Amino acid sequence: MFRNNVFPLLGQDGRLTLVLQADAVVRQYGADGSLEWSVPLSEPEVEAARERFYREWREAADQLTVIVPWTVRAGRVFEDEIWLLLAPGDGHASLMLVLDRSTGQVLRRLELRLPSPAGPFAVDRDRNALYFTLPDEAALLRTSLP
């Protein structure tokens, strides 16, 4: 079993955020390597992604297939926030979580209803606009943020 997959995000200040994909845990490390906080992602979509991973792993147990856990597909670090695009759930909803960088607590939850799952994204400097790709559509979209 592929136990975990780690998604790293490095801030300009040298602090490192790690997403432990199979465990659905976000950890923040200081520039000196010390653990600052560790927070489980408890959104229903995260639990659905974890259940899907374990179901696919069980179904492929007798094959030469490696099932890799994905909870987070993309992320960005700002001075005070961490933006995470969760792996798509059933249907085409894509969920973006904005975490407080000092505590890991969820500040915002943005649900994107799209024709296909969102891919890599960018946020403008003032955090007024979100740009994201739809890989299945070969498209780049922009939306204003509330």
Per-residue pLDDT of the chain (146 residues; tens, 9 = 90+): 456 778 899 999 999 999 988 788 999 999 999 999 999 998 877 777 777 777 777 787 777 666 666 778 889 999 899 999 987 665 656 888 999 999 999 999 988 877 778 888 899 888 899 998 888 888 888 989 88
DSSP-assigned letter for residue 6? E
Question: In the chain, what are the domain boundaries?
Answer: 6-144
CA distance 51 to 41: 14
Q: What is the pLDDT of residue 2?
A: 52
The span from the CA of 22 to the CA of 4, in Å, is: 5
Cα–Cα distances in Å, from 33 out to 8, 17, 44, 84?
Answer: 14, 11, 31, 22
Give me the pLDDT at residue 43, please: 81
Write down the pTM of the prediction: 0.82
- For residue 2 the two structure tokens come to 């592929």
Q: Which fold has domain 6-144?
A: Methylamine Dehydrogenase; Chain H (2.130.10)
